[in-house]
């Protein structure tokens, strides 16, 4: 390719990725608004942590190759839906569904696909609620609708997933069987902790019965 062609391609890639950065900003703002309003209205913040990323060029090329997607921008936009990703870590499972409902009910948000790995965990024990949404981004050239992958998970699910991710890559995707078993075990323990914490949280937040209050004085 000529230098001019290479420059044109670079500019096209930069613009392509920029649109995903804008889409992420839109979703980040939506989440921040929900968090702040929730705190104001209910004196409760359901969100522990939010992180987002635009896929690296390396990882994008790897996925395009692995999925056999045509290497042009319209095909990539049509077939790779996690170029923009945002992960919302919440305290309790109920909060994952609550935030999912609040986000997907917004009328400028279109749901493309839902994968509920909380209701149906992956075989390795992975749990999280995934949704691909389209959000509008308004550019000088007009409106574009950009897909964003949103993952909702609890702190316990996130702890498990980050360790599993490290192990998976450490063993170059060929994790030994006994380690797979231990990971599955750990996932069950994490799920149990989630249940116990949520139960405890409900008890503490529930109005204190009159009899108990009287005993207290």
DSSP string, 99-149: HHHHHHTSTT-EEEEEEETTTS--TT----EEEEEEEEEEETTEEEEEEEE
User: Is residue 19 annotated as part of the catalytic site, yes or no?
Assistant: no
Residue 202 CB, nearest approach to ligand 0O2 (Å)? 28
Q: Is residue 126 close enough to count as binding ligand 0O2 by CB under 6 A?
A: yes
Ranges within 160-179 binding ligand 0O2 (CB under 6 A): 161, 164-165
C-beta of residue 65 within 8 angstroms of C-beta of residue 108:
no
Question: Out of 49, 122, 202, 213, which residue is the one contacting ligand 0O2 (CB under 6 A)?
Answer: 122
Q: How far is the CB of 206 from ligand 0O2 (least distance, A)?
A: 34
Of the residues 12, 19, 37, 149, only one is catalytic, namely 149
Query: Is 144 within 8 Å of 19 (Cβ atoms)?
Result: yes
**Which of 25, 35, 115, 184 touches ligand 0O2 (CB under 6 A)?**
115
**Which residues sit at the interface with ligand 0O2, rule CB under 6 A?**
82, 115, 122, 124, 126, 130, 161, 164-165
Please list the active-site residues.
149
């Amino acid at each position: 390719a000529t230098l001019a062609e290479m420059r044109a391609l670079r500019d096209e890639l930069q613009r392509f990725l920029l649109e995903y950065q804008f889409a992420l900003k839109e979703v980040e703002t939506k989440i921040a608004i929900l968090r702040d309003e929730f705190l104001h209205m209910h004196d409760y913040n359901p969100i522990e942590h939010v992180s987002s990323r635009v896929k690296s060029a390396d990882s994008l090329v790897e996925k395009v190759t692995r999925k056999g997607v045509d290497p042009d921008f319209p095909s990539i936009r049509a077939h790779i839906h996690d170029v923009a990703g945002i992960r919302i870590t919440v305290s309790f499972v109920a909060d994952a569904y609550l935030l999912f409902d609040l986000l997907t009910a917004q009328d400028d948000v279109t749901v493309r696909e839902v994968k509920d790995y909380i209701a149906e965990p992956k075989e390795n024990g992975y749990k999280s609620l995934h949704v691909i949404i389209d959000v509008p981004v308004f550019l000088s050239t007009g409106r574009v609708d950009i897909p964003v992958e949103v993952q909702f998970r609890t702190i316990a699910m996130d702890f498990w997933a980050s360790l599993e991710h490290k192990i998976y890559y450490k063993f170059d995707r060929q994790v030994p069987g006994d380690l797979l078993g231990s990971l599955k075990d750990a996932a069950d323990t994490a799920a149990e902790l989630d249940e116990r914490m949520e139960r405890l949280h409900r008890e503490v937040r529930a109005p204190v019965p009159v009899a108990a209050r009287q005993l207290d004085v």
